[in-house]
Structure formats: C-alpha cells, structure tokens
Amino acid sequence: MVSFGGKDGEEFLVDGKPLQIRAGELEPQRIPREYWRHRVKMCKAMGLNAISSYLMWNDFEQPDGSFDFKAGNRDVAAFLSICKDEGMWVLFRPGPYCCGEWDFGGIPSRLLKDDIAVRTMDARYIVEAEKYLSAIAGIAEPFLAKNGGPIVLTQIENEYGSWPFKDVKYLQWVKDFWKNRGFGPFYMADGAGDRFLKNLIYPDSEIAVGFDPAMNESKWSFAKKYNPGVPVLSAETYPGWLRHWGEGKWEPSDITQAVKWFMEGRRSFCFFVAHGGTSFGFTAGANDGGEGGYKPDLTSYDYGAPIDEQGRPTKAYFDYRKIILNALGSEPPPVPYEIPSMSFGTVVPSFYSNIRDNVGPEIETSRPLYFEKMDQNQGMAFYRTSIPAGDAAELTYDRIADYAQIWLDGKRIATIDRRLRKTPVAIPARGKSAVLEIVVEAMGHINFGKGMKYDRKGIVGDVYLVGKPLSNWRTALKPLSEESVVAEKASDGHDGFSGGHFRAIVKLDKTDDTFIDMSKWKKGTVYVNGHNIGRYWNVGPQLSLYCPAPFLVCGENTIDIIELELSEPRPIRGLMRPCYFDSDISTTNAANEW
C-alpha cells in the first residue's frame, strides 16, 4: 500500500517503508512500442526507480467516439506491464489535460466546435471527460500498487494553477472521480508561487504537492504554506526545454547541483523529460507568444533530454547517473545496448499528384467555416470565393490559422505565417471579377494558457475587402490522414500551382533507425510506409525527421511527401544522426520555469 507518513507526514511510504521517487518522464505515445522496454531500461540504468507518463486523450479517441488502448503505442496496459516487469514505479498522469507540448494539451480539438468550456464544470465537457476517464481508469486499475501493480501516485489534472479560467469545483470533481474508483494517493503539479496555488483545493491530506520544478529549499518550504503535512516532489525538473519552429536547437540545462541536492536529502523528483521521443503525425502542439502570438512546436521532442530522441545516452545522462548511483552506493545496472542507426543514399522523389487533387467535395457557406466546424482537426483546406472588379485594395481578416497562401486567378500574391505580425494583403486592380483562393495549412493547437480557448484552425471569423466581409465561400477539405495520403490517385500532370505530392521508393537491405534529411525542401509533411513521421520546415532548427526502424521494411519502402511550396522535387537521404541548424533567435528560458 502507498501512503504518506514519516516525519511530519512528509515522506512517501510503500508498505510503511520510505520511498524516494526518482522518476523520468517517458510518454509511450511518442515512442515506438518496440522501444518501450529499452527506454524504461535506460531510465533504470540512470538510477531512476519510477516512470512518469502523460497519457493523451485525443490520441486514444477514435473518430467514432470509441477508444483505442491496444494498437501500436497506445497499448497502455502493455506499457504499464513493462514498467512492472522492470521494477519501476509509475506516476500516472492521464489528464484529461496534459500540456506536454501536445496538440491541444491532449484534449480533443473537436470540443472547440461548439464553444465547450474545457477544463471547467461545463456539463458538456464533464460528459466527454468522464467518458474518457472511465475508459482509461478501467485499463489502469489492475496496475495500482494496492493491486500489485506499479502505480504509486495519480496526478489530478495538470498545472491547473496556470489555467486562467479556474473552476475549483472542476478540480474537486477530477479528484473525486479518481477517489471513487479506488485510486490514490494523489499529487498535483504547479508552479511554486501564490498565483499558481491560490484557489485550488489545498489543503488536502491526500494530495502531495508537486512543483514544476522545485530545486531548492525555499520552493520545498513554500509547499507547506498551502498543504502542510504531505510529501513534496519536484514533479517536472527540466534538464532541457522545448523548442519551436524558427528557434535554435536544443542545449541541456545544467541541473547537476539540483540532482545532488535531491539525492543528499532523499527528496523526490522527476526529470521532465528523461526521454522526449517524437511528436509523430499531427500531435505536436504550440504556445502563445512571439511576434504573431503563435509558436508551433517542432516534430522532434528531443528537449535536450539526457536520453536523446533516438534513445541514446548523452553526457548529461552519465553525469546524472554518477551522482545518483554514488548517493545510493549501489552497483549500477548496465546501460542498455545502443539502438543501431543507418544511412541511405540520395533519392529524388517523383511528382505524384497536385495539392488541389484528391480533396473532398466543396462545402458551400455564406461565411467561411473554421476546421473544427467542418469536423477536421488539422490538414489543409482550400477556401474560394469571387471578388468584384475594382481598384487596388487591401484584404484583411480576423484570423487565418496557421499558414496560408493567397491566390488570385491562379497567381500567388501573398503568404500568411501566423508566427509573424498580421498584415493586410495587397489586392491588385482588376478589370473583371476574380477568383480568390486561400489555401490554409493548420499546425498544432495551442497546448498551454488562455490561447487554448480560442485556437480554432483555418479561416476564423471573416475575410474583408475594403472593410466589407466577403461571402459565398466554397471550401474543399484535405485532412492529410495517413490513410488518405497513401490512397491518393496520381495526377496526369502538374497544374502549375506551387506544392505537390511527391513519392519515392527506397530499397533497403536492412532496417535500422534513420533520420530523413529534408534540408533541401521547404515546408510539408513526410509519410513512410503510411506512417506520418511529422512536419518539416526550412525555418529550422530541425532539418531531418526521425524514422524508427519499425516503420521500415526490407525491400521497397514508400516515402510520400506533401510539400506546400516547391513545384519540383528535391533530393532526400537517410542520416545516422539528426540534422539541425542554429538560428539567431534566443530560446533561453530563465531556470526553465514557467
């Protein structure tokens, strides 16, 4: 049994014996299932004794409303079984909201369709959240420590103290949900400050206090102000930090002194992240901020972690390992074998089809509809309307999310990048009516802060010519799902517009991990044998995409590239190590604290 006790109730106890939690964050949905055990063993060899895992609701939920907890890297029971087999405790973090630089923080973006107030007692949200929580609770219950499993702590929601639309009744509802199903004890994770902790459900003797992070005594002591008599842990201790498109590459943070402090005082902590993995598909999220108020996250979730994106130990890994094992005075378990990687030679894909081909039927509306209103998460949409003859004028808009090309009678006249400051589009003089087309690619939904509430995709609101809203829109959708890209029909020829679907056949005589070099391309998405391995963008810093060996086959491999800018193909190749470049944009985050 897991409980709180010891001096002043400030220790974690398992069957009455003190437990220092030394955890590392691994998110199974970011790691190929074939590598789960390897990554858990890597954490164990670093001296950790627990695995912390966000679990993302919107990845489990299927289009028909059911939940998939079995396929691929969604098999939660299999992941928990591995943790148990390897003797690792588990910090269970099911949400409903996770953040984690994941699309919409793990909440299904479909809830944006009807203005449902997420993370509140909005009855519509509670119905949806309870359906998900009930499903995952059924999977997790056999793995509770009291049932002989590895789960020692369950997190209540996530960083709710940072949510600007707090509803303390909702937080209590989440706790009551888990308690009524026999889960516990619990912890919450927030910033170590009054503005984060006020108006929560502290004091509560069943909830340990987690700070993101707590790396000194003042933070540890601060917890007692709100919830005395319970353990404290540094729930997210950052050995690196997240990155957005257009920023520099990862550099680790120096937290060696903090690790020493944890070990000297037997204080509980979790590295966020020990190993980040990859935001495959369209799972990468975004943040508020920057010049345009939008900062989309990279495909790679390397994070500067001690175990890199491919699962290899870094210098920091060995530094932390030495500190932890010296403090424990125990013989270290061996570091697991290194996952092999390979290169493959240069290949030039062939043109396969036009971007505007293989789209859905046109939807006719008076005003443009945003993606969620049309039941599409990300992907692309082609908005068309007519504008009358007239003098040169300005086209303005409420919001276009997130990357768009503006075409007039088949000529491209502007590009809109939501990361940048919003500016009007110059429309040239026209002697007759013209077709206006706005091609929109959606990127990740904001996953943290107030921007979540409003982050719909596509054209959000109206588009104006000389201050008057345009009407009579025709919209065709292109979801870019794995199934739809693989099934696309080839085009007879190029239509003259920029972008296209390009396809390469790569023959391999072995299958190891590789990094597909996209540095010669501009912006788009790559699919390998039907697996969406993520976005590339030449603004960097990421110039290659991680392709794990389980996605490859001996023999012919099909690589599909949906490119938004180039009309002619460029070469690709496979690299043994990732490729980045640095920009001059600072990504320093003071102490990596929010």
Residues 138 and 253 in one domain: yes
Residues 132 and 193 in one domain: yes
Phi and psi (nearest 5°) for 318?
-70, -30
**Average pLDDT over the chain, rounded to whole?**
95
356 lies in some domain: no
Residues 255 and 371 in one domain: no
Q: Residues 130-156: what's their mean pLDDT?
A: 98
Residues 265 and 413 in one domain: no
In three-state secondary structure terms, 167 is coil
Query: Could you tell me the residue range of the domain that residue 181 belongs to?
Result: 2-328
In three-state secondary structure terms, 279 is coil
Residues 468 and 509 in one domain: no
Interior CA angle at 457 toward 451 and 53, to 5°? 60
Residues 513 and 390 in one domain: no
589 lies in some domain: no
Cis peptide before 571 (omega within 30 of 0): no
> Cα(38)–Cα(56) distance, rounded to whole angstroms?
21
333 lies in some domain: no
Residue 585 — pLDDT band, cuts 50, 70, 90? low
Residues 150 and 290 in one domain: yes
Residues 161 and 263 in one domain: yes
436 lies in some domain: yes
Residues 213 and 317 in one domain: yes
Residues 451 and 528 in one domain: no
pLDDT tens track for 163-181:
999 999 999 999 999 999 9
Residue 517 — pLDDT band, cuts 50, 70, 90? very high
pLDDT value for 126: 98
> Cα(452)–Cα(247) distance, rounded to whole angstroms?
22
Residues 547 and 439 in one domain: no
590 lies in some domain: no
Phi and psi (nearest 5°) for 189?
-130, 125
Residue with tokens 């007519």, as numbered in its chain: 386
285 lies in some domain: yes
587 lies in some domain: no
Residue with tokens 């459900």, as numbered in its chain: 201
Among 478, 497, 522, identify where a domain stops.
Answer: 478
Among 425, 456, 478, identify where a domain stops.
Answer: 478
pLDDT tens track for 53-112:
999 999 999 999 999 999 999 999 999 999 999 999 999 999 999 999 999 999 999 999
CATH code at 520? Answer: 2.60.120.260
Total domains in the fold of the chain: 3
290 lies in some domain: yes
pLDDT tens track for 253-268:
899 999 999 999 999 9
pLDDT value for 589: 43
Q: Give start and end residues of each alpha helix (H) in 248-293.
A: 256-264
pTM for this structure? 0.96
Q: Residues 450-469: what's their mean pLDDT?
A: 96
CATH code at 279? Answer: 3.20.20.80
End-to-end CA distance of the chain: 34
pLDDT value for 477: 98
Among 478, 496, 514, identify where a domain stops.
Answer: 478
Residues 390 and 517 in one domain: no
Query: Considering only CA atoms, which of 178, 496, 328 is closest in space to residue 320?
Result: 328
